[in-house]
Amino acid sequence: MLNNPRSYEEACRTFRWRIPDRYNLAFDVCDRQTMGGADGHRTALIVEEADGSVERYTFHVLRLLSNRLANVLTGLGVTPGDRVAVMLPAGAAAAVALLAIPRMGAALVPVPVEMGAEPLAWRLADSGARVAVVAPAALPALDEARHRLAHLDAVLVAGDPGSGGIELWSALEAASDSFAPLVTPSGHPAFLFYPGDGVGKPPGAILPHRAMAGGLPAVELALGCFPQFGDVMWTSADWMTGEALFRAVLPAWHHGVPVVARPGTIDPGQALELMSRHGVRAAYLPSRHLAWLTEAAAGRPHATPRALASGPEPLDAALHEQVLKVFGIHANEAWGVLESGAVAANLAGMMDLRPPSPGRSAPGLTVEAVDERGRILPAGERGILAVSPNAPGSFLGYWGDGASGPARRAQGWLLTGRAGRRDLDNYLWPEPPAVETGVVVVGGVRVRPDEIEAALATHPAVAAAGVVALPSGELRAFVETRTAAGPELARDLRQWLTVRRGAPEVPRRIEFIDDLPVAVDGSVLRDRLLTRPLRLDAPLAEDRMGRQRK
């Protein structure tokens, strides 16, 4: 959408929205690349498996495969407007699902593969998902949650289906590869996103087909006027998040740029090697991933990408300087919340970088600090950052009647729920998101210790449990047992939590104690647990560094 402008002012002055009223996302990012003179045999997806094998998929092949999946889902009773849950790592199966579900007018509900049964059950039950397309690794949690999912009619598994599942690739092989994309309005629901962590019972945000296009100006700026000749895209973000889909994967396909994918968790060293092997020239990395990758690159030879983009949390000056020193290029930023999409960005060379500001409003959009009534505040005054009315990337609302969430509209402005200000030069200064009472951040992921305690308490061997977050940022659990305790029970408890809550919520250390300190009302006295000396013989989980860096 940007035509290589020479300045930010020129980009804003010449920009025009060109999103048609009738717009289907799958047709735009895939089918359009195979017709009208386009070469559909260009590479769309490069998948490197853990064993080093590489498969390449053209836009033409992805179109045929997604047509087959659309026919399979239709045969399972999925109709336009129905919800289909997807729990898949980056790769071919995820790409096919991302294209097939919007193609048929259904809504895709992305769920991280490592999510446990309790938060998974809430998302699938609340959305009323008819079918789930999952990786084998997601089956234990799904099986645990299945009895609470009355609407779930079928499960397609990209691998061994276990009992009661349907093997995805066999089903695709038997289906027709002819399917006409539904001609949807651009505002037709395409995605139903829930937060990527397992905290509470949050509402799902409904995003339309046009959401990706609405965020393109900010994404293209942050990726150095993306695309440029020879670009290859990669993102370290989980493909089941809005960050990966709307800031990397779908924008790349919209422009006919190939995307590199590697299923599973990889460490920063492996990521650098992956980028070198496949000639990655444009990459989007969440803020914490960028810090890890830069640290790893400082001590080893590495390829230099053309453009590095990050977000949504602003980068500080120290990280900016480190990235420039290590990679020889600046890290640009794209800022926005899930409900608004990417609405602001910076681009070194086109505008000054003023960390921790993530930049200015993207072309075609206006972001202001407003009060709760939607009145624009003077420059420099603190308020709620809000996006101009009718921004095409904005969400449609929250799923379910009466659902509540962080964003609201006032006088037509979409309130992002983030406090901040705009200065006289139109740079935005968002404040860090507030952390709710009872929530702690571990490895960049929000968790609630009381939810982990409740899950531990359901284990037959556990009489009571307390969970605290150490100053180092790790979780530590204290367990009062009904049976003999030891390393075997600790391993069992970690597996118990992995299935029910998800891997990010498994405490690094589990210590067995005789009496858990509790208040008169029965609540755990966590302050006393925090002051207990660390037992050197307390069972220690396997190193979770790689799991945290997902």
Which tens digit of pLDDT belongs to each residue from 189-224?
999 999 999 999 999 999 999 999 999 999 999 999
Residue 107 has phi, psi (to 5 degrees) of -110, 130
Separation between Cα atoms, residue 67 and residue 445, nearest integer Å: 36
Residue at 348: amino acid letter: A
- pLDDT value of position 547: 37
Token pair 């690094």: residue:
508
Q: What is the largest CA-CA distance in the chain?
A: 74
Domain ranges for the chain, please list them: 25-33+58-209, 440-548
pLDDT at 164: 86
Higher-pLDDT residue of 217 and 485 is: 217
Other residues' Cβ atoms within 10 Å of the Cβ of residue 295: 13
Cα angle value 232/235/241 (rounded, 5°):
135
Burial of 360 (0-12, 13-18, 19+ CB in 10 A): buried
Beta bridge partners of 476: 468, 509
Check pLDDT > 80 for residue 402.
no
How does pLDDT run across 270-312, given as a tens digit for each residue?
999 999 999 999 999 999 999 999 999 998 999 899 999 999 9
Q: What is the pLDDT of residue 303?
A: 86
Q: What is the pLDDT of residue 236?
A: 96
- The answer for residues whose C-beta is within 8 angstroms of residue 304's C-beta and 6 or more apart is 327, 328, 329
What's the one-letter identity of residue 240?
Answer: M
Please report the beta strands in 9-82, taking only residues with DSSP state E, as ranges in sequence order. 43-48, 54-58
Residue 451 CA to residue 442 CA, distance in Å, equals: 14
Question: In this model, does residue 548 exceed pLDDT 50?
Answer: no
Residue 388: pLDDT band with limits 50, 70, 90: very high
Q: Among 11-25, 192-206, 516-530, where is mean pLDDT lowest?
A: 516-530
Question: What is the distance between the alpha carbons of residues 339 and 286, in angstroms, rounded to a whole number?
Answer: 17
Q: How confident is the model at residue 546 (pLDDT cuts 50, 70, 90)?
A: very low
The CA distance from 492 to 209, in Å, is 43
| 3-class SS of residue 481 | strand
Q: Are strands 43-48 and 205-208 parallel, antiparallel or unpaired?
A: unpaired
Q: Taking the C-alpha atoms of 522, 523, 524 and 525 in order, what is their torsion angle to the nearest 10 degrees?
A: -100
Average confidence (pLDDT) over 521-528: 87
Question: What average pLDDT is seen over the chain?
Answer: 93
- Alpha-carbon distance 335 to 247, whole Å? 10
CA angle 517, 518, 521 (to 5 degrees): 170
Phi/psi at 99 (5° precision): -90, -35
Q: Span 461-480, mean pLDDT?
A: 91
Residue 545 pLDDT level (bands cut at 50, 70, 90): very low
pTM summary value: 0.93
Q: What is the pLDDT of residue 484?
A: 87
pLDDT of res. 154: 97
Integer Cα distance of 126 and 350 in angstroms:
44
Write down the pLDDT at residue 79.
97
Which pLDDT score, from 0 to 100, does residue 308 have? 97
- Contact yes or no for 364/15 (Cβ under 8 A): yes
Q: What is the pLDDT of residues 412-466, one digit of tens each?
A: 999 999 999 999 999 999 999 988 888 998 888 899 999 999 999 999 999 999 9
Q: In whole angstroms, give the CA distance from residue 40 to residue 38.
A: 6
**How much is the pLDDT for 549?**
40
Q: What percent of the chain has pLDDT over 70?
A: 96
pLDDT confidence band for 371 (50 / 70 / 90): very high
Using CA atoms, how far apart are residues 23 and 123, in angstroms rounded to an integer?
27
What pLDDT is stored for residue 550 in this prediction?
40
In sequence order, the β-bridge partners of residue 221 are none
Mean per-residue pLDDT, 362-384 = 96
Helix, strand or coil, per DSSP, at residue 160:
coil
pLDDT for residue 542: 43
User: 23 or 266: whose pLDDT is higher?
Assistant: 23
One fold for 25-33+58-209 and 440-548: no
As assigned by CATH, the class of the 440-548 domain is alpha beta
d(CA 426, CA 254): 29
The hierarchical CATH code for the domain 25-33+58-209 is 3.40.50.12780
Quick one: which of 266, 247, 248, 314 has its CA closest to 287? Answer: 314
pLDDT > 80? residue 45: yes
